Structure 1
Amino acid sequence: MKRWWIGTTAALMLIAAGCAGGTDAKSGTNRHDRHTSGQAMPAFVEQSTIPHVREAYAFAEANADQLQYIPCYCGCGSLGHESVKSCFIAGKKANGQLEYNVHGSGCEICVNVVMDAKKGIEAGKTLQEVRQQIEQKYGPQLSPTNTPAPPEGK
């Protein structure tokens, strides 16, 4: 009787471990490579050597409505970017899927701005406070995007 229980427990543990990671049979992508939207992470994110790129893209996706009020300081305003959100999220495709911008995967300043915003937002700071801290950190030496201020009370 004990052998049956041990064998069953071992089999269930293997099944559970298989569900936690691995490849999705439908899409062929790694389950850990998905953002909150359920989309696979773009290859350019996986191939980036910049620390925290994955985390920055995931945060930008989940918090795009907040990051639209946070300026970027890498000079990307000349590319038409309006905020740090633009460095990571380009928009939505016709089928409703997000379109990611490759720019953030190759720019350490963009990633650092998002990680600083993440830290402030998770600490419970308002967007105005987060933006002010980012402006103080990057503003003296770098040129920001032309980003609208967050609405009052945010």
Structure 2
Amino acid sequence: KMRKMVFLSLLLLLLLAGCTSSPQQTVTLAADELLPPFLTSATPRVRDAYRFAVANPDTLAHIPCYCGCGNMGHTSNLSCYVQSPAGDGAVTFDEHANGCGICVDITQDVMRLSAEGQSLWEIRTYVDAQYSPFGPSTDTPLPPQS
């Protein structure tokens, strides 16, 4: 009976290993310590979105936001997290995404698709298709085609 259990466990393990999709790439996140105090009680999902924004500004600068924040002067999904970075490397955070599920959902999708190895162009196409029903986008430049 024990032998059968070990065999079934190994078989299940092999089946699960065979079901995994393409290898995941790592997504770079900024250190948690870099986050501002207003995020202390935020969910890990929101904190990770802010950490991604700090570490990947060139990515999010090409991803629009569809929450209606364009009238606040936002120009991309990055603007929901970070105001214009200072020349000395200091980051001035924007609190907007801390209270906006659409901003965080977009960033989480960007993180997931990046980890799956999608190009920035493919990610932008996905975000536009997925979120355009929510409303007008920010006026965000398209990513360079590779």
Q: TM-score, normalised by structure 2?
A: 0.73
CA 1:51–1:142: 2 relative to 1, 3 Å: farther
Aligned to 1:20: none
Q: Could you say which structure has the larger radius of gyration?
A: 1
Aligned to 2:61: 68
Does residue 129 (structure 1) correspond to residue 122 (structure 2)? The answer is: yes
- Matching of residues 73-92 of structure 1 within 5 Å: 73-92=66-85
More strand by share: 1
Shift, 1:44, TM fit:
1.6
In structure 1, what is the Cα distance between the partners aligned to 2:87 and 2:145? 33
Show structure 2 runs of 5+ residues with no match: 1-28
In structure 1, what is the Cα distance between the partners aligned to 2:122 and 2:98? 26
Shift, 1:38, TM fit:
7.7
Aligned to 2:7: none
In structure 2, what is the Cα distance between the partners aligned to 1:46 and 1:38? 10
Aligned to 2:12: none
In structure 1, what is the Cα distance between the partners aligned to 2:130 and 2:44? 19
- Matching of residues 88-99 of structure 1 within 5 Å: 88-93=81-86, 95-99=88-92
Aligned 8 A contact 2:32 2:51 in 1 = no
In structure 2, what is the Cα distance between the partners aligned to 1:87 and 1:41? 14
In structure 1, what is the Cα distance between the partners aligned to 2:134 and 2:84? 29
**What do you get for the CA RMSD once the two structures are aligned?**
1.9
In structure 2, what is the Cα distance between the partners aligned to 1:108 and 1:51? 13
In structure 2, what is the Cα distance between the partners aligned to 1:52 and 1:38? 12
Q: How many pairs were matched up?
A: 118
Aligned to 2:19: none
Does residue 42 (structure 1) correspond to residue 39 (structure 2)? The answer is: no
Shift, 1:140, TM fit:
2.2
Q: Structure 1 runs of 4+ off > 2 angstroms?
A: 35-40, 91-96
In structure 2, what is the Cα distance between the partners aligned to 1:59 and 1:38? 10
Shift, 1:43, TM fit:
1.7
**Larger relative contact order (Cα-Cα within 8 Å, sequence gap ≥ 6):** 2
Show structure 1 runs of 5+ residues with no match: 1-34
In structure 1, what is the Cα distance between the partners aligned to 2:63 and 2:31? 22
